[in-house]
C-alpha cells in the first residue's frame, strides 16, 4: 500500500489509539497511547510469553506486546468491534495489515471469557474496561479464569478519600457524559475485588499514586476553595498489577 493511499485509509477511520504505522504516519487517536504505555508497566521483554488484550479496540497494546517479543497475542473486543459505540474494528484491521502483524482477533464479550473459549495466558491486559462493566466483580472472575500468571488492570477510580472498599455508581452519564461508564471503585475496592476473585498479590503502579487528603491539607489548602483540585484528587486513572 502506498503512503498516500494509507493516509487516505487512516483518515476514514475514527481512531481511539494513537499509534505509529511507519513512514511518519501516526493515527489521530483520542488517547495518548504512548503516554499511557509509560504508566501501564508492560514488561519490556515478553519473549516466549502469551498475551491476551481484553477490550483491544484499535489494538495498540496488542501490537506493542507483539513488538516486545510475545509468542502469541490474542486481541478481543465486543462492544466497539460490533459498532455499538462511535468506534469500530476498522482501525485494528488496518493496523494489523500495515504492521504485518500476527496478532489474532476474537470478538467476544468479557463475560463470555473462559479457558474453554479463549485458553489461558501468561499476561492479560484489561485496560480501560472495568468501569464499563455492569457487573465488575463477575467480569474480574472471568478475567481471572483466563489469567495464567499476571494481570495488568487500568481503570477509572473514584472516592480516593475513603479507606474502606467502596464504589460510586453512575446510573446515567455522570462520568464525562458517557452513559457506558457505570462504576467508580476506590483503591481498596479494586484491590479487594482482585483478591476476592483469586489473585494472591496486588500492587498499584507507583507512577499512579496520588497524595491523600491529609497530604493536600498539609500544604494549607482549603477544600471549599479548591474544589477543582479536590475533584482531580477524587477522580483518577490507576494501574494495578495482580498475580495468581
What's the pLDDT tens digit per position in 83-137? Answer: 888 899 999 999 999 999 999 999 999 999 999 999 999 999 999 999 999 999 9
- Residue 83 to residue 231: CA distance in whole angstroms: 32
Q: Answer whether 190's CB lies under 8 Å from 203's CB.
A: no
Assigned domain for 220 exists: no
Q: With cut-offs at 50, 70 and 90, classify the pLDDT of residue 208.
A: low
CB atoms inside a 10 Å sphere around CB 41: 17
C-alpha cell of residue 238: 490507576
Euclidean distance between CA atoms 114 and 191, whole angstroms: 22
Is position 228 within any domain? no
Identify whether 230 is part of a domain: no
Whole-number pLDDT of residue 207: 62
Please report whether residue 85 resides in a domain: yes
Please name which of 41, 32, 34, 33 lies closest in space to residue 206, comparing C-alpha atoms: 41
pLDDT of residue 233: 54
The whole-chain average pLDDT of the chain stands at 90
226 assigned to some structural domain: no
Instruction: Determine, yes or no, domain membership for 227.
Output: no
Report how far residue 244's alpha carbon sits from residue 233's, in angstroms, rounded to the nearest whole number.
30
Whether 216 maps to a domain, the answer reads no
Segment 145-167 shows an average pLDDT of 95
**Predicted local confidence at residue 217, as pLDDT:** 46
What's the confidence (pLDDT) of residue 16?
Answer: 95
Residue 214 pLDDT: 47
Q: Across residues 31-49, what is the average pLDDT?
A: 92
Look at residue 66 and tell me if it is in a domain.
Answer: yes
Amino acid at each position: 500500500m502506498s503512503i498516500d493511499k494509507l493516509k487516505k485509509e487512516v483518515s476514514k477511520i475514527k481512531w481511539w489509539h494513537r499509534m505509529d504505522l511507519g513512514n511518519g504516519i501516526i493515527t489521530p487517536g483520542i488517547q495518548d497511547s504512548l503516554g499511557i504505555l509509560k504508566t501501564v508497566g508492560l514488561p519490556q521483554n515478553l519473549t516466549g510469553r502469551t498475551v491476551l488484550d481484553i477490550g483491544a479496540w484499535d489494538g495498540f497494546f496488542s501490537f506493542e506486546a507483539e513488538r516486545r517479543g510475545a509468542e502469541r497475542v490474542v486481541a478481543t473486543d465486543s462492544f466497539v468491534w460490533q459498532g455499538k459505540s462511535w468506534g469500530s474494528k476498522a482501525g485494528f484491521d488496518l493496523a494489523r495489515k500495515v504492521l504485518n502483524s500476527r496478532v489474532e482477533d476474537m470478538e467476544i464479550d468479557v463475560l463470555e471469557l473462559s479457558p474453554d473459549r479463549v485458553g489461558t495466558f501468561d499476561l492479560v491486559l484489561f485496560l480501560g474496561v472495568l468501569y464499563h462493566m455492569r457487573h465488575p466483580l463477575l467480569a474480574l472472575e472471568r478475567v481471572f479464569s483466563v489469567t495464567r500468571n499476571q494481570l495488568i488492570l487500568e481503570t477509572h477510580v473514584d472516592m480516593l478519600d475513603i479507606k474502606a472498599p467502596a464504589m460510586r455508581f453512575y446510573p446515567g452519564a455522570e462520568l464525562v457524559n458517557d452513559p457506558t461508564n457505570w462504576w467508580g471503585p476506590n483503591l481498596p475496592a479494586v484491590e479487594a475485588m482482585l483478591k476476592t476473585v483469586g489473585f494472591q498479590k496486588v500492587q498499584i503502579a507507583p507512577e499512579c499514586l496520588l497524595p491523600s487528603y491529609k497530604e493536600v491539607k498539609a500544604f494549607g489548602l482549603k477544600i471549599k476553595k479548591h474544589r477543582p483540585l479536590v475533584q482531580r484528587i477524587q477522580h483518577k486513572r490507576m494501574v494495578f498489577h495482580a498475580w495468581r
